[in-house]
Amino acid sequence: MKVDYSKFPDIPPGYSTNYNKIRNVYQVYRDYRVFDESLGRTVTKRETIGQIKDGKVTYSKLYLARKKNAELEQKLTSGSQQRHDKSKELAAKLNKAVKETKLDQRQQAKVIYPIEPIVLAALISALAGETDCVAICQLLNEKADFFRGLYPSLPKQPITHDVAYRSLLKIKAEQFDQFYQRFIERLVRKSSGKVLAGDGQACRATGKNTEASDKRGAYMLMNFYDSSSRVCLSQMIIADKTNEITVGPKMIDEMDVRDCIITADAMSCQMSFVNSVLAGGADYCLAVKGNQDKSFKELRSLFMTTHDDQIEVHCDEVELDHGRIEKRTVSLIDGHLLSAPLRQKWQGLEQGCIVRIRSQRTFKSSGHTQTNERFYISSLPADERSAQRLGEISRAHWSVENRLHWVLDMHFDQDRMQAVDPDYISNRVALNKLALAMLENYRYWLWECGKTCDVLSIKAAMRHCHNFDNALNCIAWSQGII
């Protein structure tokens, strides 16, 4: 009897059938040739994978187990190949960025350890909140086979933290900043009206010297933070005999701030800062306090004497954490109502407005109420839409404190970084900020793809990136590779 194989499409090609009269079944088998070492020649062997009975095919357990193992092996091989391809593409992009930004400042004749694997290891390690040289070297040594697969010229001897220090974290801050800009480029959203919050941050454990005669305070860095993209766009270490007042305008002049709104605290409320913002094609919203005594007094007096018909008001009520309710009232007055000397002092204010934000916070448990008033000057016009918008802008400014400075101090232990070299401090901080920018955006992608039930917190995202493959995926996603 012949078998109609078209009725049994599941039978693999190359297999035949043999009728067993005693059992009334068709055995499904194949013959194959192998070399028998005991006989010293090639022999024919038969493999039976199942049987056909009553028009149905039944496969043996051994065949099914072998088939499943082959599928798993193929899947693992495919996954490993995909990981290798992704890693090669990431390494190629990183190598290009290192070369074009001239990141490697060492004397090439003396170089033993290439800088590219150190940079990649530093990025992977930073995603877990570890940017010190010891952590970078530990990762490089533990995953030496992986890095050697990408960089065959990698020496076999373990790397020491001194090599990492001299290779990466001791280069000039200007060079590292160029590399930083290349890697945040895809994370920054191009949109008009976004808020760039400027503020200074101290690295509290830095700059201290044991000799009292040569002791200096902690180093400060000026940051400009994109509140919508959640990325620090620019940073600059504040050198001796300078402060935010001089550094801020210089940084704005070097950035593309067109159609943005620049916010800053009272220390940066200076004419040079305002002039730089307007020259860059942006608007400003700056806090005014006692350091601008005459301006502050006139602003406060104007709100007390101006008729309600000339004041634009927007109110909202928000329930905060820990049983607090906050009512915010944003009031605007047209800038042309200010005195002539004040309008001449602050460029753009005559077409802009002055702002008062009154916050009334009530504690549910005690019924106690706290009231706070803050004053701002802005180049935005005083209309009904601006009242609500300026309330949002003032809150967006605090993202530089809550989403950047606080996270760097709490999750990246930046306050505990003990160092005295300005370039080393600047590069370590930039590495932290680059990792934070990747994590901030990667966690939303994980949620949108259904890989996590909810949007991970930054701390949870850092734990997620303790896994080497997850950290690679985070960097690859940030660069558009996956």
Are 220 and 202 within 8 A, CB to CB? yes
Whether 391 and 465 share a structural domain: no
Domain shared by 268 and 197, yes or no: yes
- Domain count of the chain? 3
User: Is 364 found in the same domain as 426?
Assistant: no
Residues 343 and 222 in one domain: yes
Domain enclosing residue 465, as ranges: 77-171+418-478
- CATH code for position 363: 3.90.350.10
pLDDT at 79: 55
Residue 117 near residue 145 (C-beta atoms within 8 A): no
- Same domain, yes or no: 236 and 317: yes
Q: Please indicate, yes or no, if residue 68 is contained in any of the structural domains.
A: no
pLDDT digits (tens, 9 = 90+) for 190-228: 888 899 999 999 888 887 654 554 556 788 999 999 999
Whether residues 429 and 407 share a domain: the answer is no
Query: What pLDDT score does 383 carry?
Result: 82
Intervals of the chain under pLDDT 50: 210, 213
Domain match, 310 and 188 both: yes
User: Which of 355, 392, 406, 393 lies closest to 376 in space, CA to CA?
Assistant: 355
Which of 259, 183, 253 has its CA nearest to residue 474?
Answer: 183
Nearest to 439 by CA among 418, 422, 455, 419: 455
What is the per-residue pLDDT across 73-88, written as a single tens digit (0 to 9) for each?
766 555 556 667 788 8
Domain match, 210 and 87 both: no
| Residue 271 C-beta-side C-alpha neighbours within 13 Å | 7
Query: Do the domain assignments include residue 176?
Result: no
* Helices 61-100, 115-126: inter-axial angle, 10-degree rounding: 110
Q: What proportions of the chain, in percent to the nearest 5, are helix, strand and coil?
A: 45, 25, 30
> Burial of 321 by CB count in 10 Å (0-12 exposed, 13-18 middle, 19+ buried)?
exposed
Quote the crossing angle between the two packed helices 422-448 and 115-126, to the nearest 10°. Answer: 60
Q: Are both 150 and 130 inside the same structural domain?
A: yes
Shared-domain flag, residues 327 and 474:
no
Asked whether residue 116 falls in the same domain as residue 207, the answer is no
